[in-house]
Structure 1
Amino acid sequence: MTGISDHRETGPDATDLPEGPRVALVTGGGGDIGGVTCERLARDGWTVAVTDLDPDAAERVAARIAASGGSARATRMDVADPDDIRTAVDLIGREYGRVDAVVCAAGIEPPQDLAAIEVSAWDLTLDVNVRGPALLAQAVLPWWRRQRSGSLVTITSRTWLGGAHPAYAASKAGLVGLTRSLALELGPIGVTANAVAPSFVRTRFSAQRGDERLLDAYAERARAATPLGVLVRPEDVANAVAFLASDQAARITGEVLHVCAGSQLPLFVR
């Protein structure tokens, strides 16, 4: 892929930004972390474009936001499909006349160790977890250039430091590298790019680790590995995202904010 700055722009052609709330586009918005993040942003006054591969899940989140007095719309987006990304961004941008924040919460984790890795699963993991955010930023770039402001928040994982299933850990480390690269490239137009790296969060996504008994055991090991002795919740991740997307973080870029209850720290024998 060529540099983002080389992308042919087909976005906005108007000269004035519309008045009204800023717009946040959230991928994976129908999931547990993505959904809570959408709701938190809506409470902060954002208009939220809830995007997800599952349009029904996105609709449910948008409906909860509307029922609470917020503003949201649901849009289907497959972040593994470049055409789908461009279509969704064009739809959202032209409806609202702006795209201020992009939150990349969509992700997959095939539970495959080295001996079991399938090429198709490896490719899809990288397509969803790394290429998707890159192409999404590329699609939103014309709006950011017009606005001379914006924020990108990617949701990576503590596994970028210590490893996990190979494809997943490689993709999350790659996402950190992508985020830092975009911080350098987008900074001159006033756009920040930061990553939030949670540790284990008990969600529908994590249920792929096994049945409830196995998941209980894993969650206990994860809790015991934290200095704070607690598990991270979706709300904790959403709070970090909301901060990095806000004006309070306008001078923060290229950072990785670990939401891990301390489990990102090296362990030492005391």
Structure 2
Amino acid sequence: MRAERVAVVTGGAGGLGAAIGAHLSASADVVLLADRDVDGARTQADRIDRAQAHELDVADDASVEAFVNDVGERFGRIDVVVNNAAVTAPRELDSLQRETWERVMAVNVWGPTALCRAAAGLWRSTGTGGRVVNITSRTWLSGGPVAYVTSKAGVVGLTRSLALEFAPLGVTVNAVAPSMVATPFTRTGRTEAEYAAFEAKHLAMTPMGRFATPDDIAGAVGFLASPGAGFITGEVLHVCGGAQLAPSP
């Protein structure tokens, strides 16, 4: 099967990945929701037109290479890569173990790096250009859970570096930095009381007075993946209702 426009969304089993996939399905012939949890990705794909599920562990080089090779053989191209897959870790430095740190970096930083490296082979051979959108976090500006925030700051550096390297291929590389989105991911490692305090803190720091939604993030990704964003690269688009701004004195 050959397609005119193929989009890949990692972390496709989650709510945010599914929302991004649904948004991209309006302009792509094929949307591949890729995740270690392939059953979860399949459940999400069943709800989206032109979406398919694919197993992918972004922290495993063999899995990434096999995935990109399969996409190349089946569709002949990749037009959009959305690096959304992520894991988090304990918030305090004292409770952070090296193996946890390495896992966060492997998924959150190496994963996008490896997928882009593999996809670059297709971009070089097809000459079609493409779009990369990396999901970072508003916390890269403010700090927070040390491993997670360090990894998301690394994604910003990766975005800027790849924007330079991929520009001759006609590939733009940008990042979307959401503030808090109420998904199961944001509850990870928090008790109900901790999560309630977390919500209250983020609501208080958001000038627009509400949380981001998956659709808010998906809309920003869709714009950066669109033809209208063809001369935008190396940018970080904050989708957080003004929470990226310094508070008033």
Specify the TM-score bucket, using the shorter chain as the normaliser: over 0.9
Map 1:124-135; keep pairs closer than 5 Å.
124-135=103-114
Match for 1:54: what amino acid? D
Does residue 78 of the first structure (1) align with residue 57 of the second (2)?
A: yes
SS at structure 2 position matched to 1:263: coil
* Residue matched to 2:25: 42
* Residue matched to 2:165: 185
Does residue 237 of the first structure (1) align with residue 217 of the second (2)?
A: yes
* Residue matched to 1:202: 182
Distance (whole Å) between structure 2 residues aligned to residue 89 and residue 132 of structure 1? 13
SS at structure 2 position matched to 1:266: coil
Distance (whole Å) between structure 1 residues aligned to residue 200 and residue 27 of structure 2? 33
Does residue 90 of the first structure (1) align with residue 73 of the second (2)?
A: no
Q: RMSD between aligned alpha carbons?
A: 1.3
SS at structure 1 position matched to 2:47: helix
* Residue matched to 1:6: none
Q: Where in structure 1 are there 5+ consecutive unaligned residues?
A: 1-17
SS at structure 2 position matched to 1:43: coil
Detail structure 1 runs of 4+ shifted over 4 Å in the superposition. none
Per-residue Cα deviation, 1:230-250 (whole angstroms, up to 9, x for no partner) = 111111011100110110100
Task: Give the drift of 1:43.
Answer: 2.4
The number of residues matched between the two structures is: 248
Distance (whole Å) between structure 1 residues aligned to residue 227 and residue 109 of structure 2? 26
Distance (whole Å) between structure 2 residues aligned to residue 137 and residue 206 of structure 1? 26
Map 1:245-256; keep pairs closer than 5 Å.
245-256=225-236
Map 1:111-190; keep pairs closer than 5 Å.
111-145=90-124, 146-190=126-170
Task: Give the drift of 1:268.
Answer: 2.6
Give the share of equivalent positions with the same residue, in percent: 45
Deviates more, 1:155-164 or 1:41-50: 41-50
Distance (whole Å) between structure 2 residues aligned to residue 94 and residue 179 of structure 1? 27
Any conservation in 1 of the 2:3–2:30 contact (CA below 8 Å)?
no
Q: Where in structure 2 are there 5+ consecutive unaligned residues?
A: none
Using the size of structure 1 for normalisation, the TM-score is: 0.89
Distance (whole Å) between structure 1 residues aligned to residue 144 and residue 98 of structure 2? 17
Which of 12, 30, 47 in structure 1 is aligned with 2:13?
30
Does residue 263 of the first structure (1) align with residue 232 of the second (2)?
A: no
SS at structure 2 position matched to 1:258: strand
Per-residue Cα deviation, 1:19-74 (whole angstroms, up to 9, x for no partner) = 64300011001111111101111123441011001011110111111xxxx21211
CA gap of 1:147–1:26, structure 2 versus 1, over 3 A, is same
